[in-house]
Amino acid sequence: MDESTMNKTVLEVGADGVGIITIVNPPLNLVSVDVFLSLKKSIEEAVQRDDIKALVITGSQGKFSAGADVTTFGKGIKARTDFGFLSIEFATDTLEAARKPIVAAIDGPAFGGGLEVALACHARISTSAAQLGLTELQYGILPGLGGTQRLPRLVGLPKALEMIMMSKRISGKDALKLGLVDAIAPRDTLLSTARQWALDISDYRKPWVVSLYKTDRLEPLSEARIILNLAKSQARERTPNLTHPLVCIDVIEEGIVAGPRTGLWKEAEALLQLRQSDTCKALVHFFFAQRATLKIPGITDMALSPRKINKVAILGGGLMGSGIATAFLLANYHVILKEVDHNLLLAGIGRVKANLRSHAKKGKMTKEKLETVSSLLEGVLDYDSFKDVDLVIEAVLEDVSLKQQVFADLEKYCPQHCIFASNTSSIDLNKIGENTTSQNRILGAHFFSPAQFMPLLEIVRTEWTSLQVLVDLLDVSKKIKKTAVVVGNCTGFAVNRMFFPFSQAATLLVERGADIYQIDQSITSFGMPMGPFRLADLVGFRVAVASGSQYIEKFKERVHKSYLIPFMLEDKREGQSTCKGFYLYDEKRKASPDPEIVKFVEKARRASQVTVDPKLSRLSAGEIVEMLFFPVVNEACRILAEGVAIRASDLDIASVLGRGFPAYRGGIIFWANFIGSKYICSRLEDWSRVYGKFFEPCPYLVEHAMKQIPLVMLSPLKDTLKTVDFL
Ligand X SMILES: C[C@H](O)CC(=O)SCCNC(=O)CCNC(=O)[C@H](O)C(C)(C)COP(=O)(O)OP(=O)(O)OC[C@H]1O[C@@H](n2cnc3c(N)ncnc32)[C@H](O)[C@@H]1OP(=O)(O)O
Please, what is the minimum distance in Å from the beta carbon of residue 62 to ligand X?
A: 11
Cis-peptide, bond into residue 158, ω within 30° of zero: no
Report the residue closest to ligand X, judged by CB: 112
Cα gap 526→522, rounded to integer Å? 6
Residue 300 identity (one-letter amino acid): T
User: What is the distance in angstroms between the CA of the first residue and the CA of the last residue of the chain?
Assistant: 39
Cβ contact 208:122 at 8 Å: yes
Please, what is the minimum distance in Å from the beta carbon of residue 31 to ligand X?
A: 7
Which CB, 135 or 518, lies closer to ligand X? 135
Which CB, 67 or 433, lies closer to ligand X? 67
SS3 462: coil
Cα gap 36→69, rounded to integer Å? 12
Residues whose CB falls within 8 Å of the CB of residue 70, separated by 6 or more in sequence, listed in order: 139, 284, 287
Q: Cβ atoms within 10 A of the Cβ of 411, count? A: 17
Which CB, 140 or 532, lies closer to ligand X? 140
Which CB, 168 or 307, lies closer to ligand X? 168
Please, what is the minimum distance in Å from the beta carbon of residue 294 to ligand X?
A: 8
DSSP string covering 429-440, please?
HHHHTTT-S-GG
Q: Express the helix, strand and coil content of the chain in percent, nearest 5 each.
A: 55, 10, 35
Cβ contact 534:585 at 8 Å: no
Distances (CA, A) of 340 to 13, 392, 406: 71, 16, 11
Q: What are phi and psi of 312, to 5 degrees?
A: -120, 135
Q: What are phi and psi of 462, to 5 degrees?
A: -100, 180
Cα 152-156-161 angle, rounded to 5 deg:
60
DSSP alpha helix (H) spans, 390-445: 400-413, 429-432
Please, what is the minimum distance in Å from the beta carbon of residue 525 to ligand X?
A: 29
Please, what is the minimum distance in Å from the beta carbon of residue 135 to ligand X?
A: 4
Please, what is the minimum distance in Å from the beta carbon of residue 251 to ligand X?
A: 12
Question: Which residues make up the interface to ligand X (CB under 6 A)?
Answer: 27-28, 30, 66-71, 109, 111-113, 116, 135-136, 139, 143-145, 288, 291
Please, what is the minimum distance in Å from the beta carbon of residue 126 to ligand X?
A: 15
Cα gap 412→435, rounded to integer Å? 12
Which CB, 107 or 136, lies closer to ligand X? 136
Cβ burial of 18 (10 Å; 0-12, 13-18, 19+) is buried
- Radius of gyration, alpha carbons of the chain: 28
**Strand 8-13 vs strand 102-106: parallel, antiparallel, or unpaired?**
unpaired
Sheet-wide strand order for 18-24: 8-13, 18-24, 54-59, 102-106, 123-126, 183-184
Cβ contact 247:142 at 8 Å: yes
Which CB, 32 or 422, lies closer to ligand X? 32
Residue 22's DSSP bridge partners are 10, 58
Cα 605-607-612 angle, rounded to 5 deg:
25
User: Catalytic amino acids?
Assistant: 116, 136
Cβ contact 422:445 at 8 Å: yes
What is the sign of the dihedral through the CA atoms of 488, 490, 494 and 495? positive
* Beta strand ranges found along 434-582 (DSSP E): 442-447, 456-461, 483-488
Q: Cβ atoms within 10 A of the Cβ of 715, count? A: 10
Which CB, 291 or 689, lies closer to ligand X? 291
User: How far from the centroid of its chain's Cα atoms is residue 395's Cα?
Assistant: 24
Cα gap 462→687, rounded to integer Å? 35
* Beta strand ranges found along 491-617 (DSSP E): 583-585, 591-593
Residue 486's DSSP bridge partners are 459
Which CB, 35 or 506, lies closer to ligand X? 35
Please, what is the minimum distance in Å from the beta carbon of residue 459 to ligand X?
A: 20
